[in-house]
Copies of this chain bind each other. A is one copy, B any other.
Amino acid sequence: MSSRIQHPGLAQKIMSASDAAALIPAGATVGMSGFTGSGHPKLVPQALAQRIAAEHAAGKPFQVNVWTGASTAPELDGALAKVGGMHQRLPFQSDPLCRNKINAGELHYLDIHLSHVAQQAWFGFLGRMDVAVVEVLGILPDGRLIPSAAVGNNKTWLDIADKVILEVNSLPPKEMEGMHDIYYGTAIPPRRQPIHLTQPIERIGEPYLRVDPNKVIAVVETHHGDRDTAFARPDAVSNQIAAHIIDFLAHEVKLGRLPKAMLPLQSGVGNVANAVLAGLLDGPFEDLLGFTEVLQDGMLELIKRGKMAAASATAISLSREALKDFTDNIDFYRQRIVLRPQEISNHPELVRRLGVIAMNAMIEADIYGNVNSTHIMGSGMMNGIGGSGDYARNGYLSFFVTPSVAKGGDVSCIVPMVSHVDHTEHDTQIIVTEQGLADLRGLSPRQRAQVIIDKCAHPDWRPMLQDYFDRARRQGAQHTPHLLSEALSWHQRCLETGSMRATEDELAAVA
């Protein structure tokens, strides 16, 4: 018996990935582990994809619905998308092949707030779950499970699935045991109780996942690494954005609107988030705390260097280099990091109570402060909303960040009207680009527009935005002045020409 599988009954269910995949029926709804490229099952999804390809080659239809924690990796979303094996997918994803299927209209993608997924599954709103495929780091003699680098929705999938397949991965350090805090106090209304968490790294649950051994139909042994989430050095634009944010936070502390140790930080993924965290390494703040979804290299470094006292997340997603540091110093990090179900890491009750400072990337913002985090030119899905809505709506402060332009300057990320709204004007507070920071708190839409144009727009696009705003202010209702016939014309032009820029002819026609 492998030392990672200590339950005798479950050890008897060890089989190959393809034998396990053969137990998943066509049409099944499968709950998989995985959050931001970590903690996903490594072998069963690939074996399932092979089986699906073979069935398709034989002319037989075979698709499954796949529910995860968030994005996974090529071995899961990529492999299943490649063979056209998914009918429905939820929630966040970021795989190129999966995205292509979604935007080709061949895959139904449900973009749900990460804090809502588990409860909607419990409520029965999404249908039944047939099989859960969950990666764990070990099985205790009594059948309890050591969670992996991502907790995600695993607690819920193990609870609600009819059958369970476990992948036991022996590569990640077994010393992660004890790092997790699995809360079993959730319930369905009207039986819900307060969640008694008042500090980011307080423990309110237990370190193991529970599973009914009788539901387990297969155990698959693996020894595979998570996705290597490469950590890019922040570029100049990211550093400028980060500097604006850090200046602003210091100013808020000075005005007494933030405590000296700030409030717990949530940081989305990507270059700008990394740059902000890197900036905090040299910033004036001490004893920081994290309350976030994904703990990446930047936050790990803050902990390592003693600037951040501790952090709560639902997943750890690291570069190869950082993973080595994490593994080498696992005892140090285990005392400073708590991994929770995403339902808890993103819970509105807790995000509001703790007063999280949220920092999330976006695709574009409009002059009135509406934010698009998900769609390219109104129709195409990028990755999904993730937890940005959980944090932006409920946090103490919320930043949405983007470079002011994209595609080498052909696209302005500040537009008259966003082509899709993920965060409404009621939910956005602070918009930041490398050009500057627009503090929208306490401003009316017309006031916001002038501040966003002045502070955030790229100088190349500022005159066009000002022109739009000025002309809109000369006609129609004036709460949120718009010219509806032009509001989305920048995006339409980009679809037609690859650039939002007007041609000489168009400019002449307007003049």
Residues of A at the B interface (CB closer than 8 Å) are 88, 102-105, 108-113, 116, 120, 123-127, 188-190, 192-196, 198-199, 255-257, 259, 263-264, 348-349, 352-355, 370, 375-381, 385, 389, 393-394, 396, 419-427, 429, 441-444, 446-447, 472-473, 476-482, 484-485, 487-489, 491-492, 495
Interchain Cβ contacts under 8 Å between A and B, 11 examples: A102-B479, A105-B478, A110-B443, A124-B256, A189-B353, A190-B263, A193-B198, A349-B349, A380-B477, A484-B492, A484-B495
Q: Considering the complex, give the chain B residue whose CB is closest to the CB of A195.
A: B194
Shortest A94–chain B CB gap in Å is 14
Give the residues in chain B near A353, CB-CB below 8 Å.
189, 192-194, 349
Q: Which residues of B contact A441 (CB under 8 A)?
A: 120, 125-126
Nearest opposing residue in chain B for A491, CB measure: B484
Q: Is the CB of A478 within 8 A of B379?
A: yes
Known contacts: A103-B477, A113-B426, A422-B426. The answer to whether A484 contacts B377 by CB under 8 A is: yes
Cβ B488 vs Cβ A484 within 8 A: yes
Chain B, residue nearest A126 (CB): B442
Whether A370 pairs with B480 at a CB distance below 8 angstroms is no
Tell me the bound Cα distance from A443 to B90 in angstroms: 10
Q: What CA separation (Å) do A370 and B374 show in the bound complex?
A: 14
| Residue numbers in B under 8 Å from A196 (CB-CB) | 194
Instruction: Name the distance in Å between A10's Cβ and chain B's nearest Cβ.
Output: 31
Q: Which residue of B lies closest to A423 (CB)?
A: B424
Contact B108 A477 (CB under 8 A): no
Residue of B nearest to A396 (CB): B189
- CB <8 Å contact, A192 and B484: no
The answer for the CA separation of A485 and B490 in the assembled complex, in Å, is 10
How distant is the Cα of A324 from the Cα of B308 in the complex, in angstroms? 60
A379: min CB distance to chain B, Å: 4
Q: Taking A192-B353, A349-B353 as contacts, is the C-beta distance between A393 and B393 under 8 angstroms? A: yes
**Closest approach, in angstroms, between the C-beta of A58 and any C-beta of chain B?**
28
Q: Which residues of B contact A113 (CB under 8 A)?
A: 426-427
Check B259–A379 contact: CB distance below 8 A: no
CA distance A473 to B104 in the complex (A): 10
Q: Which residues of B contact A104 (CB under 8 A)?
A: 478
Given A355-B188, A426-B111, A447-B108, are A482 and B442 neighbors across the interface (CB < 8 Å)?
no
Contacts of A352 in B (CB 8 A): 192, 348-349
A198-B193, A348-B348 given; A446·B108 CB < 8 A: yes
Q: When the two chains form their complex, are residues A444 and B190 in contact, meaning their CB atoms are under 8 A apart?
A: no
In angstroms, Cα B124 to Cα A396, docked, is 11
- A370: min CB distance to chain B, Å: 7
B421 touches A421 (CB 8 A): yes
| A444-B88 in contact given A109-B479, A111-B425, A495-B476 (Cβ < 8 Å) | yes
Given contacts A108-B446, A352-B348, A424-B422, contact A255 B477 (CB under 8 A): no
In the bound complex, residues from chain B placing their C-beta under 8 Å from that of A110 are 442-444
What is the CB-to-nearest-CB distance from A192 to chain B, in angstroms, rounded to a whole number?
Answer: 4
Question: Using Cβ atoms and an 8 Å threshold, which residues of chain B touch A125?
Answer: 257, 429, 441-442
A479 touches B381 (CB 8 A): yes
User: Inside 8 A of A491's CB, which chain B residues have their CB?
Assistant: 484
| Cross-chain contact of A477 among B198, B376, B478 (Cβ < 8 A) | B376
Taking a contact as CB atoms under 8 Å apart, the answer to whether B488 and A487 are in contact is: yes
Bound-complex Cα distance A377 to B452 (A): 23
